[in-house]
Amino acid sequence: MFHHDYVGHFDPCDAMEKSDGLLRPKTSRPISPEAYQHTLERFDPRVSEFVEFCADGWVICDWTRPPYPRNAMSKTVRDFARTLAENDRAVVMTEMFIIWFPGWAKQRQEEHWAQMARERSH
Protein backbone atom coordinates (compact mmCIF):
# COMPACT_ATOMS: atom_id res chain seq x y z
CA MET A 1 0.00 0.00 0.00
CA PHE A 2 1.20 3.48 -0.83
CA HIS A 3 0.57 6.54 1.28
CA HIS A 4 1.03 10.16 0.39
CA ASP A 5 0.33 13.64 1.66
CA TYR A 6 -1.19 16.58 -0.15
CA VAL A 7 0.12 20.09 0.50
CA GLY A 8 -2.15 22.92 -0.50
CA HIS A 9 -4.48 25.71 0.46
CA PHE A 10 -7.36 23.52 1.62
CA ASP A 11 -10.38 24.61 3.63
CA PRO A 12 -10.46 22.27 6.66
CA CYS A 13 -14.26 22.11 6.31
CA ASP A 14 -14.30 21.51 2.55
CA ALA A 15 -11.04 19.92 1.41
CA MET A 16 -12.45 17.43 -1.13
CA GLU A 17 -13.66 18.01 -4.68
CA LYS A 18 -16.47 15.54 -5.37
CA SER A 19 -18.34 17.09 -8.30
CA ASP A 20 -17.40 14.49 -10.93
CA GLY A 21 -17.70 11.46 -8.63
CA LEU A 22 -13.94 11.26 -8.05
CA LEU A 23 -12.42 12.47 -4.81
CA ARG A 24 -9.47 14.80 -5.12
CA PRO A 25 -8.08 17.75 -3.18
CA LYS A 26 -9.97 21.03 -3.50
CA THR A 27 -7.83 24.15 -3.21
CA SER A 28 -8.80 27.75 -2.62
CA ARG A 29 -5.63 28.91 -4.39
CA PRO A 30 -2.46 27.26 -5.70
CA ILE A 31 0.74 26.68 -3.79
CA SER A 32 3.28 29.31 -4.76
CA PRO A 33 5.70 27.85 -7.31
CA GLU A 34 8.41 30.00 -5.72
CA ALA A 35 7.72 28.57 -2.25
CA TYR A 36 7.77 25.06 -3.72
CA GLN A 37 11.10 25.64 -5.47
CA HIS A 38 12.67 27.41 -2.49
CA THR A 39 11.63 24.58 -0.16
CA LEU A 40 12.85 21.92 -2.59
CA GLU A 41 16.28 23.60 -2.74
CA ARG A 42 16.61 23.30 1.05
CA PHE A 43 16.25 19.50 0.99
CA ASP A 44 18.21 16.51 -0.23
CA PRO A 45 17.98 16.53 -4.06
CA ARG A 46 16.50 13.00 -3.96
CA VAL A 47 13.30 14.43 -2.44
CA SER A 48 12.34 15.65 -5.92
CA GLU A 49 11.85 11.99 -6.95
CA PHE A 50 8.98 11.70 -4.47
CA VAL A 51 7.17 15.04 -4.76
CA GLU A 52 5.16 16.52 -7.61
CA PHE A 53 3.65 19.95 -8.18
CA CYS A 54 0.23 19.18 -9.67
CA ALA A 55 -1.55 21.28 -12.28
CA ASP A 56 -4.40 22.06 -9.88
CA GLY A 57 -1.98 23.88 -7.57
CA TRP A 58 -1.33 21.34 -4.84
CA VAL A 59 1.72 19.17 -4.18
CA ILE A 60 1.68 15.41 -3.71
CA CYS A 61 4.38 13.91 -1.48
CA ASP A 62 4.76 10.13 -1.82
CA TRP A 63 6.40 9.29 1.48
CA THR A 64 6.09 5.49 1.15
CA ARG A 65 7.71 5.26 -2.28
CA PRO A 66 11.29 5.47 -1.00
CA PRO A 67 12.83 2.00 -0.78
CA TYR A 68 11.23 -0.37 1.70
CA PRO A 69 11.64 -0.71 4.60
CA ARG A 70 10.78 2.91 5.18
CA ASN A 71 13.96 4.81 5.69
CA ALA A 72 15.16 8.28 6.51
CA MET A 73 14.06 9.49 3.06
CA SER A 74 10.41 8.79 3.95
CA LYS A 75 10.77 11.03 7.00
CA THR A 76 12.52 13.64 4.86
CA VAL A 77 9.63 13.65 2.36
CA ARG A 78 7.15 14.22 5.19
CA ASP A 79 9.42 16.96 6.59
CA PHE A 80 9.40 18.54 3.13
CA ALA A 81 5.57 18.54 3.15
CA ARG A 82 5.43 20.22 6.57
CA THR A 83 8.12 22.75 5.65
CA LEU A 84 6.41 23.68 2.38
CA ALA A 85 3.15 24.17 4.26
CA GLU A 86 4.94 26.42 6.76
CA ASN A 87 6.62 28.41 3.98
CA ASP A 88 3.39 29.00 2.03
CA ARG A 89 0.95 29.04 4.98
CA ALA A 90 -0.72 25.94 3.61
CA VAL A 91 -2.16 22.69 4.95
CA VAL A 92 -0.93 19.08 4.84
CA MET A 93 -3.42 16.22 4.66
CA THR A 94 -3.22 12.50 4.02
CA GLU A 95 -4.54 10.62 1.01
CA MET A 96 -7.65 10.04 3.16
CA PHE A 97 -8.14 13.85 3.38
CA ILE A 98 -7.25 13.94 7.09
CA ILE A 99 -5.37 17.12 7.96
CA TRP A 100 -2.31 16.67 10.18
CA PHE A 101 -0.63 20.09 9.85
CA PRO A 102 -0.92 22.81 11.01
CA GLY A 103 -2.58 22.16 14.33
CA TRP A 104 -5.26 24.85 13.93
CA ALA A 105 -6.43 23.29 10.62
CA LYS A 106 -6.44 19.78 12.11
CA GLN A 107 -8.52 21.01 15.04
CA ARG A 108 -10.92 22.90 12.75
CA GLN A 109 -11.47 19.80 10.59
CA GLU A 110 -12.09 17.62 13.66
CA GLU A 111 -14.59 20.15 15.04
CA HIS A 112 -16.36 20.32 11.67
CA TRP A 113 -16.63 16.53 11.46
CA ALA A 114 -17.93 16.34 15.04
CA GLN A 115 -20.57 18.98 14.24
CA MET A 116 -21.63 17.05 11.12
CA ALA A 117 -21.94 13.84 13.17
CA ARG A 118 -24.09 15.61 15.78
CA GLU A 119 -26.36 16.99 13.05
CA ARG A 120 -26.79 13.56 11.47
CA SER A 121 -27.67 11.94 14.80
CA HIS A 122 -30.67 14.23 15.32
Q: What DSSP assignment string belongs to 56-68?
A: TS-EEE-TT-SSS
Tell me the whole-structure pTM to 2 decimals.
Answer: 0.89
- CB count, 10 Å around CB of 86? 14
Asked whether 37 and 59 are in contact (CB, 8 A), the reply is: no
Asked whether 78 and 64 are in contact (CB, 8 A), the reply is: no
pLDDT of residue 63: 84
- Chain Cα centroid distance, residue 47: 15
Residue-wise pLDDT for 8-23, tens only, equals: 999 999 988 887 777 8
pLDDT of residue 24: 85
pLDDT of residue 67: 65
Residue-wise pLDDT for 32-76, tens only, equals: 999 999 999 999 999 999 999 999 999 999 987 766 555 788 889
Residue-wise pLDDT for 80-116, tens only, equals: 999 999 999 999 999 999 999 999 999 999 999 999 8
Whole-number average pLDDT of the chain = 90
pLDDT of residue 73: 83
Domain ranges of the chain: 5-121
